[in-house]
């Protein structure tokens, strides 16, 4: 009976070690995912700023939306698969933490991008204001130049002829 008890204790210890190692691997994996999302956030901020100054903005944004949708679908499937596993409850808690962190990071990205967007829009507005001013000035000049020519031709026709 001592051998049986010893074997059971050894099996229990082995299971605890496997569980601890599995938890460590899961934590490390989520830490790497978090780092990748940080890099992704930084890259997105740079891309949005750059694309606002590019004529390819719409195409870039459409491509980005498609890639986000694909990534979201893949993450959704991975979460569903994980929830159905033995470690589902533990992973679910980690996933909820990650989701909150991602949301906070997203809000930070938005706050970082806002001043850049505002600067780009102000620059665009100033450029448009300058174009409008130039057009109005050209129209005023062409109207002013055509009026004296008309009045000179009408003055010539009304003068009496002297022979």
Tens-level pLDDT at each residue, the chain (163 residues): 566 666 666 666 666 777 677 778 888 888 888 888 788 777 777 776 766 666 666 677 677 788 888 888 888 888 787 667 767 777 778 888 888 888 888 888 888 888 888 888 999 999 999 999 999 999 999 888 776 555 555 555 555 555 4
- Which of 75, 109, 70 minimizes the C-alpha distance to 95? 75
How far is the C-alpha of 157 from the C-alpha of 155, rounded, in Å?
6
pLDDT of residue 163: 44
Q: 125 with 133: CB under 8 angstroms?
A: no
Q: What is the residue whose two structure tokens read 């003055």?
A: 155
pLDDT of residue 22: 72
The residue length of the chain stands at: 163
Q: 49 with 116: CB under 8 angstroms?
A: yes
Q: 37 with 105: CB under 8 angstroms?
A: yes
Q: 38 with 105: CB under 8 angstroms?
A: yes
In what helix (H) or strand (E) does residue 16 lie, and over which residues does it extend? helix 2-52
- Which of 71, 94, 70 minimizes the C-alpha distance to 82? 94
How far is the C-alpha of 107 from the C-alpha of 109, rounded, in Å?
5
pLDDT of residue 131: 94
pLDDT of residue 1: 54
Reading the block at residue 26, the tokens are 């899961």
Reading the block at residue 40, the tokens are 């992704």
pLDDT of residue 124: 92
Calculate the CA 89 to chain-centre distance: 31
């Amino acid at each position: 009976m001592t051998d049986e008890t010893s074997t059971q204790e050894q099996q229990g210890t082995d299971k605890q070690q496997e569980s601890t190692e599995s938890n460590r691997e899961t934590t490390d994996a989520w830490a790497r995912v978090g780092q990748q999302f940080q890099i992704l956030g930084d890259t997105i901020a740079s891309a949005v700023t750059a694309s606002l100054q590019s004529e390819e903005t719409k195409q870039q944004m459409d491509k980005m939306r498609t890639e986000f949708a694909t990534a979201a679908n893949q993450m959704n499937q991975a979460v569903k698969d994980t929830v159905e596993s033995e470690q589902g409850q533990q992973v679910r808690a980690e996933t909820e933490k990650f989701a909150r962190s991602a949301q906070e990071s997203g809000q930070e990205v938005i706050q970082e991008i806002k001043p850049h967007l505002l600067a780009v829009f102000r620059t665009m507005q100033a450029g448009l204001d300058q174009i409008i001013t130039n057009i109005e000035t050209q129209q005023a000049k062409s109207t002013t130049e055509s009026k004296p020519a008309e009045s000179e031709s009408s003055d010539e026709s009304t003068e009496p002829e002297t022979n």
